[in-house]
Amino acid sequence: DTLWDLAIAEVEKRENPGDDDVKPGEVWEKSILFMGNKSGGKTTIILRCLEREESPKPTLALEYTFGRRARRHNTPKDVAHFWELGGGTSLMELIRIPITSHNIRSFAVVLVLDLSKPNELWTTMESLLQVTRNHVNKILSKLEKTNPEVAGEIKQRMWNDLQRDHPDSALVDPFPIPLVIIGSKYDIFHEFDSEMRKIISKTLRFVSHYYGASLVFTSKSEALLLKARALINHLAFGYDKSKSVSVDPSKPLFIPAGLDSMSQIGPPPASDSDLGKMRANTPLELWKKVFEKTFPPKSFCDLQDTKDPAQDSQYAEYEIDVMRAQKNQELEQYKRNASKSWKEMDFDSD
């Protein structure tokens, strides 16, 4: 190898920690799970990342697609697996399907939060991240027994984006796998009252920094989609990580992981008297109470996707629908017969 080749290899090693075992000429595979608010724009973001000119369709349950990119000219194309969880928080149990002990080293999560629905924001975020974290921790617990080196590597990588001497090291709790938080529908959010925007922006900055995640606001705007795409391509294909930062609450936020701080974010947006009345065991819990005071959450049931896919015209199939209708009639008949026989039963008064 020439000196230039060695220099390129060293830069790639620094930009992609954990991929040391991928040799030149070999193909690496990454996996990303997209989850978040129902109709929050996840499919649109995926299609844009893959440069596909398609109209987004509603996601049913858990959907899969993939993309391929070459790191350099005349090299094999790397593969990125894109999983998308539909239904908001109603199908969280499906998270365990794409994330396994076999791909955990190369897995990342993209959480898409609809900025136009602040009353759903915290509940959606908390529910999805908690279920994902619990599942990943179970995998890591098993790996500590079967492959402690890999488990140790993953836990060490959690802190890679935070400098060793960062003043917030003792105040944060990094997510166990790489995480990007995308605030979608910025065009609608931008029309909100400035104080509302400030509370939402500061809260998401805190949450992202607390979890060691990158944060970006986006919309259908090409310029904003490109910023989100840059973060996702870094996870999916190892592209260079952007070092630019935008923290102005009057503009779309863009903060790569590790480039924010508690001192820059400031305290929760509440008066000292209100903060003094709030009982919280952790900084995250305190921010939650402050946020939900302004944006009372919808109940968990309200966030469930109750629409029956079988009634959706886009999934219509004549033969299956006829058979389903017949089965529904048989079920109704069974219910009537069962109800009739139940009423006719003679119970012993003793």
Render 33-100 in DSSP notation, one character per residue: EEEESTTSSHHHHHHHHTT---------SEEEEEEEEESSTTSPEEEEEEEEE-STTTTGGGGGTT--
Question: Residue 267 gets which letter from DSSP?
Answer: S
Per-residue pLDDT of 3-55, as tens digits, reads 776 666 666 555 554 444 445 555 578 999 999 998 888 988 888 888 887 77
CA distances (Å), origin 129, targets 4, 207, 302: 42, 11, 19
State pTM to two decimals.
0.77
Per the domain annotation, does 140 fall within a domain? yes
CA distance 220 to 184: 9
**Ramachandran class of 238: left when φ > 0, alpha when ψ lies in -120 to 50, beta otherwise:** left
pLDDT in tens, 78-120: 889 999 998 888 888 899 999 999 899 999 999 999 999 999 9
Q: How confident is the model at residue 349 (pLDDT cuts 50, 70, 90)?
A: very low
Q: Does 71 map to a domain?
A: yes
Instruction: Convert the pLDDT of each residue in 236-250 to its tens digit.
Output: 887 777 788 999 988
Domain assignment of residue 315, yes or no: no
User: Is 314 domain-assigned?
Assistant: no
Tokens of 262: 């508690």
Percent of the chain whose pLDDT exceeds 70: 81
Handedness of CA 227, 294, 270, 171 (dihedral sign): negative
At residue 311, the pLDDT reads 66
Specify if 5 maps to a domain: no
What CATH number is given to the structural domain containing 32?
A: 3.40.50.300
**Would 19 be classed as within a structural domain?**
no
At residue 185, what is the residue type? K
Flag whether pLDDT at 342 surpasses 90.
no
Expressed as residue numbers, the domain containing 37 is 27-294
Residue 197 inside a domain? The answer is yes
In a domain, 67, yes or no: yes
Total structural domains in the chain? 1
